[in-house]
Amino acid sequence: MLISAFAVAFMFACKEEGKPAETPPAAPAKPMPPPPPPPTAKAEPIIGEFTLMSFTGGPTIDALVKAGGKISNDLVDLGRMLYYETRLSKAHDVSCNTCHGLANYGVDGKTLSTGHRGQLGTRNSPTVYNASMQFVQFWDGRAKDVEEQALGPITNPVEMAMPVDGKRVVATLESIPEYADAFKKLFPNDAKPVSMENVGKAIGAFERRLITPAPFHKFIAGDTKALTEEEQRGLEAFHQVGCTSCHTGAGVGGTQYQKLGAVKAWPELHDKGLGDITKKAEDDYKFKVPTLLNVAKTAPYGHDGKMETLEEAVKMMAEYQLGKTVSDAEVKSIVVFLNTLTGEIPTDFIKEPSLPKSTAKTPKPDKKK
Q: pLDDT tens digit string along 198-234?
A: 999 999 999 999 999 999 999 999 999 999 999 999 9
Inform me whether the pLDDT recorded for 8 exceeds 50: no
The predicted structure's pLDDT at residue 11 = 44
Every domain of the chain and the residues it spans: 61-207, 213-341
Q: Per-residue confidence at 192, pLDDT binned at 50, 70, 90?
A: very high
The predicted structure's pLDDT at residue 21 = 52
| CB distance 287 to 139 below 8 Å | yes
Among all residues, which ones are annotated catalytic? 159
| CB distance 368 to 92 below 8 Å | no
* pTM: predicted TM-score of the whole model, two decimal places: 0.88
pLDDT, tens only, 142-151: 999 999 999 9
CA angle, corner 134, sides to 345 and 217, nearest 5? 50
The predicted structure's pLDDT at residue 34 = 77
Q: Per-residue confidence at 263, pLDDT binned at 50, 70, 90?
A: very high
Q: Do domains 61-207 and 213-341 have the same CATH topology?
A: yes
pLDDT, tens only, 28-84: 666 777 777 766 656 678 999 899 999 998 899 999 999 999 999 999 999 999 999
The CATH H-level superfamily of 213-341 is: Cytochrome c-like domain (1.10.760.10)
CA angle, corner 96, sides to 93 and 98, nearest 5? 55
The predicted structure's pLDDT at residue 221 = 96
Phi, psi of 234 (to 5 degrees): -65, -40
Calculate helix-pair angle for 196-207, 177-186, nearest 10 degrees.
80
Alpha carbon distance 46, 25 (integer Å): 61
Alpha carbon distance 105, 324 (integer Å): 30
The predicted structure's pLDDT at residue 152 = 98
| CB distance 320 to 261 below 8 Å | yes
Inform me whether the pLDDT recorded for 3 exceeds 50: no
The predicted structure's pLDDT at residue 49 = 87
Q: Per-residue confidence at 26, pLDDT binned at 50, 70, 90?
A: low
**What kind of architecture, by CATH, is found in domain 61-207?**
Orthogonal Bundle (1.10)
Indicate the average pLDDT of the chain: 92
> Residue 118 — left, alpha, or beta (φ > 0 → left; ψ -120 to 50 → alpha)?
left
Alpha carbon distance 136, 116 (integer Å): 26
Percent of all residues in the chain with a pLDDT value above 70, rounded to a whole number: 90
Inform me whether the pLDDT recorded for 6 exceeds 60: no
Cβ partners under 8 Å of residue 343, min gap 6: 129, 212, 213, 214, 293, 294
